[in-house]
């Protein structure tokens, strides 16, 4: 009899745990990304995606960028770069250098509005190579 009474409680707890996992797509604390296989970019920050012009390197960047995106960005910007309403839909990010400038600036420094941190600064935790790999992935998801 006691087991029967606990079953609804266990089911409710399982649903709550699943809902938590569904909402927690990513991590709001910047996480490093393994960029093995990408060309090192050095200490000087570039303002245009350096992987875009080299097809095999770009494909590797997209592969790495997808993992980096899911780890660092999906929690707010949505799984597979499909926004869930909490943050801008990155598929709408302008292509080319203009979009690159906007993306790298905000990603490096983060976003603060009215004294509230809306997006963490990734510089210092996520490498330049990883940031550009994530940008490469986002480009493949654009409309």
Contact 135, 49 (CB under 8 A): yes
For residue 22, tell me if it sits in a domain. no
For residue 49, tell me if it sits in a domain. yes
Q: Name the more confident of 112 and 17.
A: 112
Closest Cα partner for 101 from 63, 52, 45, 58?
45
d(CA 24, CA 133): 22
- Domain housing 38: 27-141
**Residues 6 or more apart whose Cβ sits within 8 Å of residue 93:** 99, 102, 103, 138, 142
> Which DSSP state fits 29?
S
Q: pLDDT at position 26, please?
A: 46
Q: pLDDT at position 13, please?
A: 47
Q: What sign for the dihedral angle of Cα 81, 133, 43, 32?
A: positive
d(CA 68, CA 50): 17
For residue 7, tell me if it sits in a domain. no
The predicted model gives 116-125 an average pLDDT of 95
| pLDDT tops 90 at residue 96 | yes
Instruction: Quickly count helices (H) and strands (E) in the chain.
Output: 5, 2
Q: pLDDT at position 86, please?
A: 78
Residue 77's CATH number: 1.10.760.10
For residue 5, tell me if it sits in a domain. no
Q: pLDDT at position 25, please?
A: 43
> What is the DSSP secondary-structure string of 106-137?
HHHH-EEETTEEEE---TTTS-HHHHHHHHHH
For residue 11, tell me if it sits in a domain. no
pLDDT in tens, 3-53: 555 555 554 444 444 444 344 444 578 999 999 999 999 999 999 999 999
Length of the chain measured in residues: 143
Number of domains in the chain: 1
For residue 19, tell me if it sits in a domain. no
Q: pLDDT at position 7, please?
A: 52
């Amino acid at each position: 009899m006691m087991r029967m009474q606990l079953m609804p409680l266990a089911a409710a707890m399982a649903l709550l745990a699943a809902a938590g996992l569904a909402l927690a797509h990513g991590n709001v604390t910047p996480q490093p990304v393994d960029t093995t296989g990408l060309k090192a970019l050095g200490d000087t920050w570039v303002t245009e995606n350096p992987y875009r012009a080299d097809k095999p390197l770009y494909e590797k960047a997209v592969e790495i960028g997808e993992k980096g995106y899911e780890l660092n960005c999906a929690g707010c910007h949505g799984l597979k770069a499909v926004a869930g309403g909490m943050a801008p839909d990155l598929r709408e990010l302008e292509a080319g250098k203009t979009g690159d400038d906007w993306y790298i600036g905000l990603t490096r420094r983060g976003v603060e509005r009215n004294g509230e941190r809306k997006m963490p600064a990734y510089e210092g935790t996520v490498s330049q190579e990883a940031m550009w790999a994530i940008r490469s992935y986002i480009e493949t998801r654009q409309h």
